[in-house]
Structure 1
Amino acid sequence: MNHERSRDLYDRALSVLPGGVNSSVRATQPYPPFVARGDGAHVVDADGNRYLDYVMGYGPLLYGHDAPEPVQSAVQKFASEGPMYGMPTEVEVEHAEFVARHVPSVEMIRFVNSGTEATVSAVRLARGYTGRDKIVVMQGGYHGAQESTLVAGGPENPRPSTPGIPPEFAKHTLPIPFNDPAAAEAVFEEHGDDIAAVLVEPILANKGIVMPVDGYHQRLRELCDDHGSLLVFDEVITGFRVGGLGCAQSTFGVTPDVTTFGKIIGGGFPVGAIGGKAEIIERFTPAGDVFQSGTFSGHPVTMAAGHEYLKFAAENDVYEHVNRLGRRLREGVEDLLEDRAPEYTVVGTDSMFKTVFTRDAPGSFEDHCEGGCRQRDSCPRFDACPKTGADVAAAETGRWERIFWQEMKAQGVLLTANQFESQFVSYAHTDEDIEETLEAYKTAL
């Protein structure tokens, strides 16, 4: 493949953009491919190279790069009628009604402009609603680029995970390991009266796709109920990817007090949302006293795109298709790993997938969790499967980035560029695409 145009664009970008990119996850070695256009399940870069795409915008492109005709028509209609108004529109009401009908936790919803803005607002809401300051987060979880959750360490020594955040901010955040009920119980025993909320992804989806162990979310629900804290599910990635229109919370049978959304809920346009019990969400201004506002919130083009996106999924076999292909891909990779790298772990569910380059596991896949790790305690590989963000970080992350990702890209398959980010199957992918991908895996592994 020729990459001269991408190389030249990157050289120009380094002069005007920090690191040559506008989001740190786009920085790949030696330079990222610059995309010129999308085409179904593919992207074409500035040099004309064509790739099977499993990045899918980091999740929002449920239909690939060609949205269904009703979505395209809605976008064109609303864009042609005016860019935005700073005033309410009917389509934002229709979209809110649709989400509230399908997601178990949502009675009311406030739309914002990004997943980060959604989680920032959810934390402020939880603190305002409870009158408490502390929040519990999962080590290895991700809740956007915000001061309250960019925190490392443990409950007794929280510290900012990046320069630019005052240590005083971090002291109100209590990081604990995911999938560790005892750690959750201990932090509530010590700080229960001061905890406003537990903020958790139903599945760690930004750290290798780590499923919860049986009963974990139920225990968090009990602890929050016992101590008057809110349970906040961050479904920015899993929302309308896992569990269909009911989202991941419907899969696990646990109803949070508040849910944050992004990605698919805006049909590929910038969006975020905070939904939950009416008595909680109504604390947002102007109904309540917790300030939240945004000029572009409920943008009509985004609302129209998101509404038609979800309506199309409700009326067609979208989830059946993407989930079937996702499972076929995960099972196919498992078959390859059994011969080539049995120490690695296939993770994912529904239309999400990843291979974590774990370092130690049984040499056989006999009686394993087929189609991706499910944290089944009777699985022979249970002890070796990643259960926390730290487990994923301890994998061979350098091998993924420097060798495997590069080799897959050279074969025309574009994956997320590091070991941690989820990968996604879209409605545009086909069985033939899965076979092509597995052939590339065979060579790269």
Structure 2
Amino acid sequence: MTSDESRRLYDRALSVLAGGVNSSVRATMPYPFFVQKGDGGHVVDADGNRYLDYVNGYGPLLYGHSPPEEVQAAVQKHSSQGPMYGAPTEIEVEHAEFVARHVPSVEMLRFVNSGTEATVSAVRLARGYTGRDKIVVMQGGYHGAQESTLVEGEGDHVHPSTRGIPQEFAQHTIPVPFNDTEAIIEVFQEHGDDIAAVLTEPILGNKGIVMPVDGYHETLRDLCDDFGSLLVFDEVITGFRVGGLQCAQGKFGVTPDVTTFGKIIGGGFPVGAIGGRAEIIEQFSPSGPVFQSGTFSGHPVTMAAGHAYLQYAAEHDVYEHVNALGEQLREGLTEICREQAPEYTVVGTDSMFKVLFTRDAPDEFEGHCDAGCTQREDCPRYELCPKTGADVAACDTERWERVFWQQMKEQGVFLTANQYESQFVSYAHTEDDIEETLDAYREAL
């Protein structure tokens, strides 16, 4: 496997792009391979190397690189009519109607241009609606590149997690450990009357895929109801990936007040959205006092792609296919880890998966979760399975990135660049692809 052309392109990129990339996670060691094209469940790089693709654009590509003809036709139709107008179009109404019909929390929407923009807007909306300033977030959760959530620490000792954010921003954000019921109750007891919202991913999807323990989301729902705070689910990753058209909130049976979307809802094009109860979403300008606007919001090509994406899923066996492949892959990975690396933990649900390089093995495997950790209390691994972002950070992340990822790449399998981000099965993958992938894991582990 040669990489001369990718190395040459990276050398050029270093002269004109910060770090040689336009998103930091793409800067793999020692340099990234440059993709020339996608082909079904694969990508082909600039040197002609072909990889099974489980990155799928970090989640948006439910159909891999071969979207259904209906999707391609919708994109071509709307792009040929003009790139954008600065005026409303019928397709954005149709897309909003579809989402509102299927997602439990959504009565009304505002489309934006990225997951980050969606969560920024949701935080502003929560503060505007409640008249409060404090936002509770989960340690290890990710809500985009925004000042209100790039915060780390505990209690009164919090600070921005990156340079460029004033310390004052962190004073209004309260990070708590995911899955820690006692911690969130204590926070509400101390700050409840000042909390505008709890912002959480239903599943930590950017920190190793951590499922909620039984009753955790119900506790968040009850606390928000008791104190008049909003429960905001960030479904940028899980939206229309976990739980099918009802999203993760439908799978878990907990309905938030506000939901943020991205990735799949735009059919592979840049997108974000904020949905929720009408009385809340109507607080956005021009119907309400919370300013929100954007030149490219509701872009007709994106709306057409997203609508056709979801419409096709509603009429075909898309979720049955990808979820069955995801289960096949996680079951195979569980068996491989049991034999070769019993300390490692297989995680994921539906079409999401990952192997976490945890450090401690259970004493026995009888009754083990057989297709990814579900945080089941009677599982022999329950006390060892990561339950917080800190637990995932304690894994052998250096080995994952510097050794394992490279070995998988050499075998023609493209995984997300570090141990944290989720990996995804697509509709373009086949059972043979899964078996090929499992063979690569056997060799790499």
TM value normalised by structure 2: 1.00
**Aligned-partner Cα distance in 2 for 1:131–1:336:** 52
Q: For residues 128 and 209 of structure 2, what CA distance do their matches in structure 1 show?
A: 31
Aligned: 1:310 with 2:310: yes
Q: Which deviations, in whole Å up to 9, do the C-alpha atoms of 1:367-417 show, x marking residues without a partner?
A: 111100000011110000000000000000000000100000000000001
In structure 1, what is the equivalent of residue 297 of structure 2? 297
Look up the match of 1:409. 409
1:75 paired to 2:85: no
Residue equivalent to 2:112: 112
In structure 1, give the amino acid aligned to 2:33. P
Amino acid at match of 1:209: I
d(CA) in 2 for partners of 1:156, 1:293:
34
Where does residue 368 of structure 2 map in the other structure? Answer: 368
Q: State the alpha-carbon separation in 2 of the partners of residues 226 and 169 from structure 1.
A: 26
Equivalent position SS for 1:383: coil
User: Following the alignment from structure 2 to structure 1, what is the Cα–Cα distance between the partners of residues 361 and 244?
Assistant: 32
Distance 1:313 1:122 in 2: 27
- Letter of the 1:199 partner, please give it: L
- Please list the CA deviations of residues 339-359 of structure 1 after superposition, one character each: whole Å capped at 9, or x if unmatched: 100000000000000000000
**RMSD of the alignment, in Å?**
0.5
Question: Cα deviations across residues 62-86 of structure 1 (Å, max 9, x unaligned)?
Answer: 0000110000000000000000001
* d(CA) in 1 for partners of 2:415, 2:71: 26
**Cα offset for 1:155?**
2.6
Q: Secondary structure at the match of 1:111?
A: strand
Large movers: runs of 4+ above 4 Å: none
Task: Give 2:152's aligned amino acid.
Answer: A
Kept in 1, the 8 Å contact 2:140–2:204? The answer is yes
What is the DSSP-based 3-state SS (H/G/I as helix, E as strand, rest coil) of the residue aligned with 2:138?
A: strand
| 2:63 match: secondary structure | coil
Give the corresponding residue for 1:391: 391
CA distance in 2, matches of 1:221, 1:9: 49
Separation (CA, whole Å) in 1 of partners of 2:158 and 2:236: 24
Aligned partner letter, 1:410: E
Q: Which residue of 1 aligns with 2:38?
A: 38
Hey, what's the Cα distance between the residues in 1 that align with 2:364 and 2:13? 47
The 5 A counterparts of 1:74-113 are 74-113=74-113
SS at match of 1:213: coil
Residue type of the partner of 1:102? H
**Rounded Cα–Cα distance in structure 2 between residues aligned with 1:315 and 1:326:** 20
The one-letter code sitting in structure 2 at the alignment partner of 1:183 is A
Instruction: Report SS of the residue matched to 1:372.
Output: coil
Q: Secondary structure of the equivalent of 1:153?
A: strand
8 Å contact 1:266–1:303 — kept in the other structure? Answer: yes
Instruction: Answer whether contact 2:408 2:441 (CA < 8 A) is retained.
Output: yes
Residue in 2 that maps onto 1:202: 202
Unaligned runs of 5+ in 2: none
Residue 359 of structure 2 corresponds to which residue in structure 1?
359
1:12 aligns with 12
Shift of 1:219: 0.2
One-letter identity of the residue aligned with 1:75: V
SS in 2 for 1:408: helix
Give the letter aligned to residue 106 of structure 2. V
CA contact (8 A) 2:363 2:380 kept: no
2:157 is paired with a residue of what secondary structure?
coil
The number of residues matched between the two structures is 445
User: Corresponding residue for 1:169?
Assistant: 169
CA distance in 2, matches of 1:94, 1:46: 39
After TM superposition, the structure 1 = structure 2 runs for residues 195-344 of structure 1, keeping only pairs within 5 Å, are: 195-344=195-344
For residue 428 of structure 1, what is the aligned residue in structure 2?
A: 428
C-alpha deviation, 1:363, in angstroms: 4.9
Is the contact made by 1:78 and 1:304 (CA closer than 8 Å) also made in structure 2? yes
Q: Normalising to structure 1: TM-score of the pair?
A: 1.00
Aligned amino acid, residue 273 of structure 2: A
SS in 1 for 2:154: coil
Cα distance in 2 for partners of 1:395, 1:364 equals 20
SS of match in other structure, 1:110 = strand
Note if contact 2:136-2:176 (Cα within 8 Å) is conserved in structure 1: yes
Match of residue 178 from structure 1: 178
Structure 1 letter corresponding to 2:59: G
- The answer to whether structure 1 residue 122 and structure 2 residue 119 are counterparts is no
Deviations 1:2-46 (A, max 9, x none): 100000000011111111100000010000010000000000000
1:65 aligns with 2:44: no
Aligned 8 A contact 1:342 1:363 in 2: no
* In 1: Cα distance, 2:171 partner to 2:149 partner: 11
Superposition deviation, residue 294 in structure 1 = 0.2
Instruction: Describe the SS at the equivalent of 2:383.
Output: helix
- 8 Å contact kept, 1:155–1:173: no
Q: In the alignment, is residue 142 of structure 1 matched against residue 145 of structure 2? A: no
Specify the alignment match of 1:48 in structure 2.
Answer: 48
Q: What are the Cα deviations for residues 276-323 of structure 1, in whole angstroms up to 9, with x where unaligned?
A: 000000000001010000010000000000000000000000000000
Aligned-pair identity (%): 79
Deviations 1:101-123 (A, max 9, x none): 00000000000000000000000
Equivalent-residue separation in structure 1 for 2:338 and 2:226 (angstroms): 45
Looking at structure 1, the residues matched to 369 and 332 of structure 2 have their Cα atoms a distance apart, in angstroms, of 13
1:105-155: per-residue Cα shift (whole Å, max 9, x none)? 000000000000000000000000000000000000000000000000013
In structure 1, the residue corresponding to 2:110 is in which secondary structure?
strand
Structure 1 window deviating more from structure 2 (364-373 vs 181-190): it is 364-373
